[in-house]
Amino acid sequence: MNSTIDSKKEIQTIRHSAEHVLTQAMQRLFPNKFLMAMGPATDDGFYFDFEPIGEFKVSDADFPAIETEMAKIVKENLPIIRQEISLDDAKKLFADNPYKMEWLNSIQDRGEIITIYKTGDEFTDLCAGPHVRYTKGIKAFKLLSIAGAYWHGDEKNKMLTRIYGTAFESKPELEEYLNLIEEAKKRDHRILGQKLKLFTISKLVGAGLPLLQPNGMIIRKELEQYLWDLHKNKGYSQVWTPHITKEELYITSGHAEKFGDNIFKVQGKDKNEIFYLKPMNCPHHMQIFADNQFSYRDMPVRYFEPATVYRDEKAGELSGLTRVRAITQDDGHLFCRTSQLETEITTIVGIIKEFYTTFGMMENYWVRLSTRGPKGKYLGSNEIWEKAETALKSISDKNQLPYKIGIDEAAFYGPKLDFMFKDALKREWQLATIQCDFNLPERFDLSFTNEKGEKERPVVIHRAISGSIERFMGILIEQFGGAFPTWISPVQVKIIPITDCQLEYAQNIEKELKENGIRVEIDDKSETMQNKIRNAAGEKIPYMIIIGGREAENNTISVRQRDGQDLGIMPLSQFIDSLKDQISKKSLNLVK
């Protein structure tokens, strides 16, 4: 078996076992004070949900005592033993716990074997496992935070208390992870977004509906322009579609049936008409294609639209820019022949690689080839799906993509390639996607005329490079800790005159920088030079131009970077040339 997979299973086993030890420690410390609910391992740790009884409460102030008790259980090296049990015996064992009884009923419905795990003689829990054999197998753990959580994530259910923790195979790995958590707090895009005046969340506007400030809009427009620059010479045409649509469009596409609960509905004056706030762009682009008479000579047809769509996400899941209700997708749809799939998808793969290389995110990326599962939630025939899945696998092999098969991860209309990238904090994000679709052309009866003068059905490729502009901006803020590469920084240069005597010279420099397309501001406040430099560094502006009497007299500038490095005195023209070169190359680094 793949060693990476083995290692992942091992760490998941350790984390799942640490959750059992957490629950056991709490039972020792707080007997009869809570009801166990559930506690799975996660990609980066584990959590334990419980219902407090009466006035009982737990806070992070209790963590040291809980961790001390957990350490005792680990040191006792108690055996963790799996045992199969009958449904009747299990219901007797957990008769006083409604959460376990609900799980037992669901296990019964699925016809699965019921198992419990015993840790020593005092703790038993309903669990599928696996677990380490003895508690000493849990080498390094830490409790992280506490929060409220609805049972099954459904706000209609009871609010439980959730304790988050993590565990690793060694203490150095745990320390590295805890350091990353501290670094993540410093880079939190919600805090930096407010500090750097990038975006605003207004209670009057609503959760999940961020407002971009001027600085944030600069970043967004730079991203959109870069995305268009990567496409404009590859046969794409820009289109635009409205934000609302008649219900019939999404009934025809199948989205109403599959995602109806996440769609915002709008009632017009005509009570017989129901409109949807646009949840995705693809059905609209189908209509643009359908309104043309294309022949095989026109294929492929490629549409590009960075469009905002709207989805009714749960309020508890919304977060800054990374989980929103107004989602701007850098969306594109290509209509092509089956024989053109390989060339078109290869081109898109090239665009994805170039885009993420620019942001320094190509290290250790991988691709999930998302295919059907057995759940029957997919549109189209087996023949169509086999054709699409085979095409994507072949293309992935030819492009040497580091892919893994993701069963039951496909879109409802077709298989896809989901590109997974890690940020500077080693967190994994699913960002770019390429989706192969033989189904929507069928549902909308799309066709073009082939060489024989006959109608031929196109294949549709759905593709997004950044995924969601909002989410990608949130990731970028944290990727760079707000210290953006110069080309995307809202303000690229801050001019700091030491006294008002240099203000006129500073204004001349500002004018010349603006004429060269450089975003610049003058700090003419009545503060000391040291305070102005400190403020500019806090605003994470890449460069500061310090203007004193000597610079004004000699027609030069003194340049300092945000990291404190002094680049010395130079002619303005030299600085402009180096800065423009850095911006045009979209360099990650500052001028040295």
Question: Quick check: helix, strand or coil at residue 244?
Answer: strand
Distance CA 78, CA 71 (A): 12
Residue 502, phi-psi category: left (phi > 0), alpha (psi -120 to 50), beta (remainder): alpha
Which of 139, 190, 311, 314 is flagged as catalytic?
Answer: 311
Q: How far apart are CA 409 and CA 242, in angstroms?
A: 29
Q: Which residues contact 55 (CB under 8 A, 6 or more apart)?
A: none
Catalytic option among 285, 323, 325, 333? 333
Q: What is the 3-state secondary structure (H, E, C) of 513-561?
A: HHHCCCCEEECCCCCCHHHHHHHHHHCCCCEEEEECHHHHHHCCEEEEE
Q: Is 462 a catalytic residue?
A: yes
What percent of the residues of the chain are helix, what percent strand, and what percent coil, each to the nearest 5?
A: 40, 25, 30
Q: Who's near 270: CB < 8 A, 6+ residues apart?
A: none
Could you tell me where the DSSP H helices lie in 239-329? 247-253, 255-259, 282-290
Contact between 444 and 253 (Cβ < 8 Å): yes
CA 436 to each of CA 348, 415, 416, 417: distance values in angstroms, whole numbers, following the listed order: 12, 6, 6, 9
Position 495: which residue type?
Answer: I
Exactly one of 127, 282, 336, 436 is catalytic; which is it?
Answer: 282
- Indicate which residue of 15, 100, 329, 502 is catalytic: 329
- Which of 462, 494, 560, 562 is catalytic? The answer is 462
Active site residue 284: no
3-class DSSP state of 493: strand
| Catalytic choice (255, 416, 463, 562) | 416
**293 is a catalytic site residue:** no
From the list 125, 330, 331, 418, the catalytic residue is: 331
Active site residue 282: yes
Q: What is the DSSP string of 10-68?
A: HHHHHHHHHHHHHHHHHHHHSTTSEEEEE--B-SS-EEEEEEE-TT----GGGHHHHHH
Q: Is 311 a known active-site residue?
A: yes
Residues designated catalytic: 282, 311, 329, 331, 333, 416, 462
